[in-house]
Amino acid sequence: MFTGEVPSGTGYKIVAKMASDYEYLDSMVEVMIRQSPEDRIDSIEKVKNQLIGRNNEFITLQKVSKLKDTVVPTTEVDDPLIANPPRLVNFDWDRGILTLVFQQPVNEIWVWALKNMGSYSSLVGKGPEAFNIRGNKAVIDATENEVQKIMTTLVVGSRSK
């Protein structure tokens, strides 16, 4: 028993107050203790099926939060890069290598999304798929003449979003 009490009448302790992970049981308890027998669930088989179904639905609507290391609803935004998108804070060009520096490291999911975003403009093969991205840096081969064009494309592209 979750509550330590047998539920009866109104105002009884509910499961959600004692064990929030099992709050889906409260609606079943409410039906099972109805005064009129014809309003109650009429077999243990139906009770079992509802328990299984409601538990599966509850589990389906959750995921493990990478930020909190806890279970959260699937509708909750959980990626720190969505809550605080990477911003370009610096760049450097040295001997044919252009390095872009973000204010924070990016993860593999972000890199995949960037490289597979579909519609974007690129400059002579210098689109997102051509960058080598690790941590908070993105690196690409670029001539001195290409650097200005790449940086302009990045800045203008980020302003249009």
pLDDT in tens, 75-117: 665 566 666 778 888 889 998 999 999 888 888 877 887 777 6
Nearest to 123 by CA among 159, 77, 78, 156: 156
Question: Quick one: pLDDT at residue 1?
Answer: 57
Question: Quick one: pLDDT at residue 145?
Answer: 84
Please state, in angstroms and rounded to a whole number, the distance separating the CA atoms of residues 86 and 111. 11
Full-model pTM: 0.47
Beta carbons of 104 and 86 less than 8 angstroms apart: yes
What region does 7 belong to: left with phi over 0, alpha with psi -120 to 50, or beta?
Answer: beta
What CA–CA distances, in Å, run from 35 to 3, 7, 39? 21, 12, 8
What CA–CA distances, in Å, run from 78 to 45, 81, 112, 122? 38, 9, 17, 30
Question: Quick one: pLDDT at residue 161?
Answer: 47
Beta carbons of 15 and 3 less than 8 angstroms apart: yes
Question: What is the DSSP annotation of 58-75?
Answer: HHHTEEE-TTTSSEEETT
